[in-house]
Amino acid sequence: MKKILLLTLCAILLSGSAMCASSKLDILTLFSTKSYSANKAWVGTFQLVWNDMKNNIIKHDIKFVNEKPTRELIGLNNEEFNSSMLNDSSYYTSYGKTAPSEKIKIEKGIFEKFAEKSDILDSMDWSEGDGKYYAYAMLKKEFEFFEEFDKLENANFNNKGKFEYFGIKENSKEILDENVKVLFYNGKNDYAVQLLTTKGDVIYLYRTNSNASFDKMYEKMLVKAEKYKDDREFSSADTLKVPNLKINEIRKYPSLTNKQIEGTDLYFSDALETLQLELNNKGGKVKSEAMIMTKMCALPEYTKKITSRHFNFDKTFAMFLVDAKKESPYLALKIKDLTNFQK
C-alpha cells in the first residue's frame, strides 16, 4: 500500500486588527500573544522594525505618555523575535530620517536582494521634516520540496466545503517520502510532521485544537516530538493530507499610533505589517513587509505504533515556518475555517 501525502501551502498577506469571525484571520502582534480566534497568524517582520525604531532612533524602551505599558508593548520592547533568528539572506531592513531618497534606497535594496517591489512604500509620506523618521523591513522566503507532491482530489475541511489538496497517494512515487519526517503520532487527532525543503527550511504541521499562544503550542509540539519513540520514517502505510491555502492581508496597529512617545516629542504616525504566504505541491513562498514612521507632536486626540497513520490536515491545524539552521519560527499560523484561504 503506497502512502498518500497531501501537502499544501498558503499565500498570506496578514490583516488588520483582531478579527473573530471564523473565516477571518487574526494577525497577532507577538509570538506569545493569547488569542481565541479560529484563524490566527503571526510573522516576525513588525518586530524587526520595532527593534530598529527602539534601538536606533528612540534609543530606549518605547512607552507612551500617561499610559501604562500593555502586554503588547512590553513584549515588543523585550524583543521576543530578532534578526538573529533569521538568515541574512531572508530579510532586508532600513531605518533613518524620512526623505524621498530613502524610499529610492529601499526600493533599490529590496530589488537587488529579492527582485521584489514593495506593496506599501508608495502609500507612505516620504517628505522631509523635523521628527520624521522611519523603520522598514521586508522578509522574503522561497522554498521547494525535494520532489513535487501529487495533486489530490478536492475534499472538505472540518466537514465543510470542497477545497484543494496535494500530497502522496497510493500510486505516488516512493521518492516523495523524502519530503516528510514524522515528529510524532499519538492517535487520530494528535500528530505532527516536518516537511523538508531543498535549502533546509522546515515547515511544521501540527494537528491540534489548542487555543494556547503560538509559543506554548510550538513548545508543546517539540516536547511531544522528543518523547515519541516509534518510527519517524514516513512509511508506505502512512498517509498525509494538507489543504492548499492562499491568504492576502494587511495589519495596521492603531493602538500604537497617535500617542506621544515618552522622553521624546514624537509619535508614530504609521505602523503596519503585511504578509503573503503560499504553499503548494512544489513548495511555497513568504513575503512580508513592515513599517513604522514618526512625526513631531502636536498630536491628534488620544484614542484609548500504528499500522496506518493518517496525517490528514483536513481539520484545525497549526503551521510553523523556521529558517534553515535556526530554531525559532518566523511565522506561525492556525486554521480552523478554510473558506477564504484558497484561490
Query: From CA 217, how far away is CA 311, in angstroms rounded?
Result: 18
Residue pLDDT, tens place only, 286-316: 999 999 999 998 745 545 455 678 889 899 9
pLDDT at 18 over 80: no
- Is 55 in contact with 38 (CB distance < 8 Å)? no
pLDDT at 5 over 50: no
- Is 205 in contact with 242 (CB distance < 8 Å)? yes
pLDDT of residue 245: 82
Query: From CA 23, how far away is CA 341, in angstroms rounded?
Result: 8
Residue pLDDT, tens place only, 171-228: 788 888 889 999 999 998 999 999 999 999 999 999 999 999 999 999 999 999 999 9
Q: Output the CA–CA distances (angstroms, integers) from residue 101 to 98, 108, 111, 196, in the order listed.
A: 8, 11, 15, 41
Mean pLDDT of the chain: 88
Q: How confident is the model at residue 242 (pLDDT cuts 50, 70, 90)?
A: confident
pLDDT of residue 23: 52
Per-residue exposure over 117-136, b if at least 16 CB sit within 10 Å of its own CB, e if not: ebbbbeebebeeeeebbbbb
pLDDT of residue 184: 96
For the chain, domain boundaries? 1-343
Give the type of residue at 230.
Answer: D
Residue pLDDT, tens place only, 224-236: 999 999 988 888 7
Residue pLDDT, tens place only, 90-132: 999 999 999 999 999 999 999 999 999 999 999 999 999 999 9
Phi, psi of 72 (to 5 degrees): -60, -45
Which residue's entry shows cell 475541511?
A: 157
Its pTM surpasses 0.75: yes
The topology (CATH level 3) of 1-343 is: Alpha-1-antitrypsin; domain 1 (2.30.39)
pLDDT at 154 over 50: yes
Please choose, from the candidates 95, 106, 97, 101, the residue with its C-alpha nearest in 3D space to the C-alpha of residue 132.
97
DSSP string of 62-103?
A: --BTT-PPPHHHHHHHTTSS-GGGS-GGGEEEEEEE--HHHH
pLDDT at 1 over 50: no
Please choose, from the candidates 256, 257, 249, the residue with its C-alpha nearest in 3D space to the C-alpha of residue 19.
249
pLDDT of residue 331: 92
Residue pLDDT, tens place only, 45-76: 999 999 999 999 999 999 999 999 999 999 99
Residue pLDDT, tens place only, 245-290: 888 889 999 999 999 999 999 999 999 999 898 999 999 999 999 9
pLDDT of residue 233: 86
pLDDT of residue 170: 77
Average pLDDT of 130-158? 95
Query: From CA 198, how far away is CA 128, in angstroms rounded?
Result: 44
